[in-house]
Structures are given as structure tokens and as C-alpha cells.
Amino acid sequence: MFKNPFTAPRHGTVVAYTALVVALSSGGAAFAASQIGAKDIKPNAVRSKHIKDGQVRTNDLALDAVTGAQVANDSLTGDDVANDTLTGDDVASDSLTGNDVEESSLGTVPNASTLAGRGPGSFATSTVYKTEAPTDAGTRLGDNTNSKAMACNAGDILLSGGPASISATTDLLESFPTPGSTNSWSVRINDNGIADSFTVVILCLDQTP
């Protein structure tokens, strides 16, 4: 008997073809994924648009792969740096200012008005001046000697002193810091009965603030 080649396929055949199409469409991707490796991808073929946002993880990055060029300027904050990891080598010399230091974190200065426990008055300044007493006979004492003293300005420090303009006929008896004073110099002479006008010259250290 002659068979018609265009006879409609049987039900079982249709089901088989349908199953094959479904299998290829759903499993084809899985098959391709399992067969494509790194060698099948051209260099520089994968771009940012091929990667789903938020999918790159730390494990996907090689050690030391990220450099400053990959970080946007001013994008890092304190939360991006581990505590106690930065050292002096990480900060440029002379780059920190007072605004970078929390004042309350600094220790208390024991005493800012002293140095090694000594106040400002204990240290000499660099200004030295000379001054002298009036030139006259001085004060006549009961032993017929004459004395005279000259002091630095109040608060200044006496460095040295001595007599001046004494006559050749006069004997110098004493020349020393005035007893009971720290900034005065005293001189005592014997004019041997010949009136003599003399003076006392001193060097002082100016302690004016």
C-alpha cells in the first residue's frame, strides 16, 4: 500500500522533538559555561559592562594590584584605614599642622613657665650695659676713709664692678659686691688727706622682659 510522506507526525514524535528543543534551550548555556575556559577569552575582552555591579570581591583581586591610580582622589576616609596601621613614614614631613592634632589627646605639660624647674628670672638675657656713679669724694667714714657704691637697675643682674679715676696719691682699700645686695658694687679708698674725686663703674645684665 502506498504511504503518504506528508502524513502528520505521531503524538510521541512531537513530544520527543519538543523535549529536545527544551533541553537545548535550557541546558545549552550550562553546557557552554562548563566548556568555556580562560583560554577561550581574548585578552582585554571582558569589560566593566560584562561584570554585574557589586560582584567583584577581595578574592578576585591580586595582592598589591590596586594602586593610587585606581582610587578616586579624596574618596578614602578614616573608615578605610585600619586602626594603628599608619606610621610616621606614611606622612609627609612637615605636612601635619595644629589643626591635625586633637589637643585633648596631648599630655599635660608639667609647667610651661619654667625650664628644668627654673623660672625666667633664673636665666640671663644677652643685653649687657655699663653704668657708673657720680665722680665725687664719696661718703667720709669715721676712720677717715671714703666709700662709694653703685647698683644696677632694679631686677637686673650685677656682673662686675670696680673703682675708676682714683688719684695716684690714693690707696684702694676695698672693691667688692656690696654686702647684703646682689646687684651693687662698693669701693673704699684712703685719700691720705688729699681730696680725691673717684667713681665706681659696674657692668649689669639687663633682665627687662
**What does the pLDDT read at residue 130?**
96
The answer on pLDDT for 72 being more than 90 is no
**What does the pLDDT read at residue 31?**
56
50, amino acid identity: H
More confident residue, 151 or 127: 151
Report the distance separating Cα 53 and Cα 70, nearest Å: 17
The answer on pLDDT for 18 being more than 90 is no
* Structure confidence at residue 184 as a pLDDT band (50, 70, 90): very high
Is residue 163 domain-resident? yes
**What does the pLDDT read at residue 52?**
83
Is residue 117 domain-resident? no
Helix (H, G, I), strand (E, B) or coil at 58: helix
Domain count, the chain: 1
Dig out the grid coordinates for 191 from the structure.
685719700
* Structure confidence at residue 41 as a pLDDT band (50, 70, 90): confident
70 class by beta-carbon count within 10 Å (0-12 exposed, 13-18 middle, 19+ buried):
exposed
Q: What is the pLDDT of residues 88-146, one digit of tens each?
A: 888 888 888 878 888 777 777 666 677 777 776 666 667 899 999 999 999 999 999 99
Pair 146, 200: CB distance under 8 Å: no
What value does the mean pLDDT take over residues 41-51? 79
Is residue 146 domain-resident? yes
More confident residue, 175 or 36: 175
Which range of residues forms the domain containing residue 137? 124-205
**What does the pLDDT read at residue 109?**
66
Is residue 84 domain-resident? no
Is residue 134 domain-resident? yes
Spacing of C-alpha 129 from chain mean position: 39
Is residue 98 domain-resident? no
Is residue 186 domain-resident? yes
